[in-house]
Amino acid sequence: MTLELRNVTKTVGADTHIHPTSLAFEKGGFNILLGATNAGKSTLIKLMAGLEKPTTGEVWADGQNVTGTSPQKRGIALVHQFFINYPHMTVFENIASPLRVQGLGRSEIETRVREAADVLQLGPMLDRRPQELSGGQQQRCALARAIVKQSKAIFLDEPLANLDYKLREELREQLPDILGERGTVIVYATSEPTEALLLGGHTALVHEGRITQFGRTPEIYHLPGDLTSARVFSDPPINLAPVTKRGEEMWMDETINWPVFGEAAALADGPYTVAIRPHHVTPTEPNDVSIAIRGPVQITELSGSESVAHFRIGGQTWVSLAPGVHPYRVGDYHEFHMIPGQCFYFGADGTLAAKGRAHG
């Protein structure tokens, strides 16, 4: 099974929701659409599922053009961010509903519903109605309905967004096993970068109706193709600052400079944007080669295992994230260490010009 968008666009009135987009998803593993709210993730899902028609372009499934095919005939399942179940039916009837539509026999339905319920730990709740279940169980019920019919593609549109933090973690943990090796294409929309990393697979970064980068999830995290992609795929937000390359060195704010090597050294002199993730700006000297930078601490946050400091540097607010507890005092100038080997340099047009290296 493959699912493909070929040069698809979507405009509504004067608004362009999706700019020309081509994308191919395969079965096995998660295909993640990562982007902020209103970036176009839901629209892409609706286009692939056939709930909306592209303004131009085509949707292909398994080598067939399905652009005009209705969603009912595409053999797909959709799980929404809100827990959508039939309120007047029991959990059993809810899970069985797609099979009844297919007209399967009673015993077959019984077996398959029990199977799906087992996978989602809903066995003891089959006789209850959705409103008697907790939020997590309601979403499991919706998931069971999606997997029971063995569809060709499953679309999950921020399925965990409305769950409690801990429930979200538990269900996310189980999702790969639940959806597992079913030979279906799994498309999963989320606005949380960490969620994408935990689920792995492939990720398409969505920003203002465009796919800015697509590839294996950890790979595109470690090598963003452009500034937008770097920003979309970073939580906490990636630190940015304008820099100027002069000879063998990068200059920031005319006071801080560091030598550059490799492809960064080969860049033409001129202005660039440096980007570095918060965990590569540390309060103590790291093992890697680092540059000391100083700035007044504005806000400090402690999350138990990690300390966060927001500080001013070169006219920007930067964030440092480090394991352990660090005694920051708000207002004090504090020394941080940034690792040039972990910097990205972006050109004026926003594309990645070079990735930093520690040594020559």
Partner 1 sequence: MAEIGLKNLRHSYLPSPAGPDDFALKEINLSWDDGGAYALLGPSGCGKTTLLNIISGLLTPSEGHILFDGQDVTALPPDKRNIAQVFQFPVIYDTMTVYDNLAFPLRNRGVAADRVDARVSEIAAMLELDDSLTTRAANLTPDAKQKISMGRGLVRDDVNVIMFDEPLTVIDPELKWKLRSKLKELHQKIAVTMIYVTHDQTEALTFADQVVVMQDGEIVQIGSPVELFERPQHTFVGHFIGSPGMNILPCEVTGDGAWFHGCHVPLEGPVKGTGQRTEIGVRPEFVRLADGGIPGLVRKAADIGRHTVVEVMVGDTPVGAIVDGPAPERGAEVHLTFDPHQTRLYTDGWIATERAAP
Partner 2 sequence: MKTENQRGWLFVLPVLILVAFNALIPLMTVVNYSVQETFGNNQFFWAGLRWFEEILRSERFHAALGRQLLFTFTILIIEVPLGVAIALAMPRRGFWVPVCLVLMALPMLIPWNVVGSMWNIFTLPQIGLLGYFLNDVLGINYDMTQQPVSAWITVIVMDVWHWTSLVVLLAYAGLVSIPEAYYQAAKIDGASNWSVFRYIQLPKMKRVLTIAILLRFMDSFNIYTEPFTLTGGGPGNSTTLLSIDLVKIALGQFDLGPAAAMSLIYFAITLAVSWLFYTLMTRDDQ
Please report, for residues 86, 261, 282, the alpha-carbon distance to residue 288 in angstroms, rounded to integers and kept in the order given.
56, 15, 11
Minimum CB separation from partner 2 for residue 69, in Å?
A: 8
CB 7 within 8 A of CB 22: yes
- Residues pairing with 251 in the sheet: 244, 257
Minimum CB separation from partner 2 for residue 16, in Å?
A: 19
* Among the listed residues 89, 197, 267, 289, the single contact to partner 1 using CB under 8 A: 197
Which listed option, partner 2, partner 1, none, makes contact with residue 67 (CB within 5 to 8 Å by class)?
partner 2
What is the DSSP code string of 63-126?
TEE-TTS-GGGGTEEEE-SS----TTS-HHHHHHHHHHHHT--HHHHHHHHHHHHHHTT-GGGT
Which listed option, partner 1, partner 2, none, makes contact with residue 111 (CB within 5 to 8 Å by class)?
none
Which listed option, partner 1, partner 2, none, makes contact with residue 24 (CB within 5 to 8 Å by class)?
none
What is the DSSP code (8-state) at residue 262? H
> Which of these segments, 72-80, 98-106, 232-240, 351-359, binds partner 1 (CB under 8 A)?
232-240
CB 6 within 8 A of CB 22: yes
- List binders of partner 2 among 50-89 (CB under 8 A): 53, 67-68, 70
SS (H, E, C) 303-320: CCCEEEEEEEECCEEEEE
> Which of these segments, 44-52, 137-145, 186-194, 250-258, binds partner 1 (CB under 8 A)?
186-194
CB crowding 78-102: b at 16 or more within 10 Å, else e: bbbbebbbeeeebbbbbbbbbbeee
- List binders of partner 1 among 262-281 (CB under 8 A): 277, 279
Which listed option, partner 2, partner 1, none, makes contact with residue 305 (CB within 5 to 8 Å by class)?
partner 1
- Residues of the shown chain interacting with partner 1 in the complex, contacts defined by CB under 8 A: 36-37, 134-135, 164-167, 169, 173, 176, 191-194, 197-200, 218, 221-222, 235-237, 277, 279, 298-305, 308, 310, 321, 323, 325, 330
Contact positions vs partner 2 (CB under 8 A): 53, 67-68, 70
